[in-house]
Amino acid sequence: MRLVVDLNRCQGYAQCAFLAPDVFAMHGDESLLYNPEAPPEQREDVLRAVAACPVQAILLELTDEDMANMPAADAAGSSAPSGGPR
Amino acid sequence: MTTAGAHDGALEHLKREGRIVIVGASLAGLRAAETMREKGFAGSLTLIGDEPHEPYDRPPLSKQVLLGNAVADHTTLPRRRAIDADWRLGVPATGLDMAARRVRLGNGDEVEYDRLLIATGVRARPWPNAEEASLDGVFVLRTRDDAVGLQRALTDSPRRVVVIGAGFTGSEIASACRERGLNVTVAERGSAPLVGALGGVIGEVAAEMHREHEVDLRTGVMVTALEGDPSGRVRAAHLSDGATVEADVVVVSLGAQRNTEWLAGSGLGAGPRGIACDAGCRAFDVRGIVTDDIYVAGDVARSPHALFGYQFLSLEHWGNAVAQADTAAHNMLSVSADRRPHLWVPAFWSSQFGVNIKSVGVPPMGTEIMITQGSPAERRFAAVYGYQGRVIAAVTFDNCRWLPFYEHQIESTAPFPPPFSTVDRRPEGNKPVPADFPDPSVPTHGPTITLSGYSPADRKMTFTPGR
Ligand SMILES: Cc1cc2nc3c(=O)[nH]c(=O)nc-3n(C[C@H](O)[C@H](O)[C@H](O)COP(=O)(O)OP(=O)(O)OC[C@H]3O[C@@H](n4cnc5c(N)ncnc54)[C@H](O)[C@@H]3O)c2cc1C
Ligand code: SF4
């Protein structure tokens, strides 16, 4: 799972750090640090973080490995900025 | 058939089976390629990049990666969509034949194009003494490979790190070193960190931040030489004030140089300041005539901006690379009436010493500054820059939620000093003070925005016609 956060857009609301704490973390009061390559086990948490970001700052690309065993409804319903499989 | 119809036909042909070549396979190159495919470009798309890697993200290299929170090799950029491109990675473009519409590659190949996008970015300015630069333990930080090496050197517990240059990257490196418990000395030619980008008033706040975190900050000095031991490892840096600082790691952070040498002699308007283009990202040739098939985007481009006196701006900003790539890609596939100008309001972020620094607009154009909210002493504030009675830029330290408000002020050319009073304005914020930028004729290492060219309002130019 690859991701990048548009930190110009990010307002430090920390929703992502709350929902996927293994991938996103606040550094000080409002700087966001994240792991740009998250392991497949984090998929559900990261999808929730992407959907919850109030400014839609997170761009996510799911690889084939991430998509394996993904329920069809979920895959279709994942939010707009995610990249989908290649 | 009308002329417009003929144009449409050519465009349809380009979209269906044209050849588009992108030189520079990084952030701007990738995002442009995605936009072209989104707009229905079905022809052949070639991406040429001298690095062996797929496009990756650079900002984490001086932040997450040096802190040890992410691996340099894991910064590959996510894709918005499949782009079905012919990738030529690990091979540089070495020449351009504008008449034959051909790009020459380092391996002798030639690639023909109908439309060319140049997104070759910048590279780290190397340490000027080549012998000293090649000592073990001397680094720059621009690429993923640089980050792998530097991260490894920091993991080996060096006794001291010397950072040369306190621009954004240098300051972030110093901050990461302190967070890892390493001793670090920062040597800066200017009067304070970040002065080139944000001016002396904010530079003073940055200097205090360094000192609070026990960075050994030396300002107003230059590193004159690097000294190695007999085995070729760096062991000390000599400073212009006579001091010697012993160090096992030296990071040269002296700003960037634009990757335009490969265009020398091509006839394109490319040089050390970048590649000049019009607001629609179309490159100029050396005669000042706009081309119609060559476009530029990202750090290597310099383009005129209506909000900032039509001066040519070169921006080393992540967001600019994304936005300009998008506009260039759109315009490459549009007839003239449908083209859009690239009028992005410059925006930038940095993260150092646990503080989120963001700016919008063009701070180096500002002559005055006023703290409008919060207090620099608390490292939480917003400040606006004024130029000829209007708001030209703003910066926030841990106060980013206010930035969109100030961005709107810049876009609407709101008056400076701001007449409004904010809830948390402190006494020191009641009047503007000089923004205190260094003399623009003295180069600084990392302004991240370079104004190149005169504003038409300034009468500084003398035209001497050629004979
Ligand atoms: C350590 C670091 C931290 C940063 N932090 C921030 C930040 O916090 N905020 C922010 O806004 N911006 C930041 N930036 C700046 C941001 O990364 C750049 O603005 C962005 O990468 C520009 O993208 P680009 O595609 O225009 O150029 P680049 O990313 O420089 O890519 C150009 C590519 O072209 C290749 N190339 C060059 N010449 C040739 C040739 N002749 N043939 C083929 N390929 C060639 C280069 O090797 C490179 O891969 C940072 C940059 C660095 C290095
Ligand atoms: S949820 Fe969005 S705005 Fe909030 S910290 Fe995460 S990326 Fe930033």
Amino acid of residue B77: L
Q: What is the pLDDT of residues A10-45, one digit of tens each?
A: 999 999 999 999 999 999 999 999 999 999 999 999
Confirm or reject: Cβ of B397 under 6 Å from ligand 1: no
Q: What is the pLDDT of residues B317-330, one digit of tens each?
A: 999 999 999 999 99
Q: Which residues of A touch B351 (CB under 8 A)?
A: 27-28, 31, 33
Chain A residue with CA closest to B358: the answer is: A8
From B118, B117, B115, select the one nearest B293 (Cα to Cα): B115
Confirm or reject: Cβ of A57 under 6 Å from ligand 2: yes
**CA B122 to ligand 1 center in whole angstroms:** 6
Q: What is the pLDDT of residues B19-55, one digit of tens each?
A: 999 999 999 999 999 999 999 999 999 999 999 999 9
**b/e map of B429-446 (b: 16 or more CB within 10 Å)?**
beebeebbbbeeeeebbb
Tell me what ipTM this predicted complex has.
0.90
Ligand 1 atom closest to the Cα of residue B48 is 43
Helix spans in B111-213 (H): 130-133, 144-155, 168-179, 195-212
Which helix (H) or strand (E) element contains residue B27?
Answer: helix B27-38
Distance from CA of B402 to the nearest CA of A (A): 9
Chain B residue with CA closest to A33: the answer is: B64
Predicted confidence (pLDDT) at residue B9 exceeds the cutoff of 90: no
Quick check: helix, strand or coil at residue A43? helix
Q: Which residues of A touch B77 (CB under 8 A)?
A: 2, 4
Interface test with A, best of B26, B37, B77 (most A CBs within 10 A): B77
pLDDT of residue B6: 58
Q: What is the pLDDT of residues B340-378, one digit of tens each?
A: 999 999 999 999 999 999 999 999 999 999 999 999 999
Q: What is the pLDDT of residues B294-312, one digit of tens each?
A: 999 999 999 999 888 888 9
pLDDT of residue A83: 40
| Average pLDDT rounded to a whole number, residues B1-12 | 68
From B269, B273, B272, select the one nearest B283 (Cα to Cα): B269
Count CB-CB contacts under 10 A for residue B76: 17
- Residue B230 burial (CB < 10 Å; 0-12/13-18/19+)? exposed
The percentage of chain B sitting over the pLDDT mark of 70, rounded to a whole number, equals 91
pLDDT of residue B97: 98
Interface of B with A (CB under 8 A): 57, 59-60, 63-64, 67, 69-71, 74-82, 318-319, 322, 347-349, 351, 353-356, 358, 380, 398, 400-401
Long-range contacts formed by B99-108: CB under 8 A, 24+ apart: B101/B293, B103/B21, B103/B23, B103/B48, B105/B48, B106/B50
Q: What is the pLDDT of residues B143-160, one digit of tens each?
A: 999 999 999 999 999 999
Report CB contact under 8 Å: A8, B76. no
Q: What is the mean pLDDT of chain B?
A: 92
In the A/B pair of chains, how many CB contacts fall below 8 A?
Answer: 83
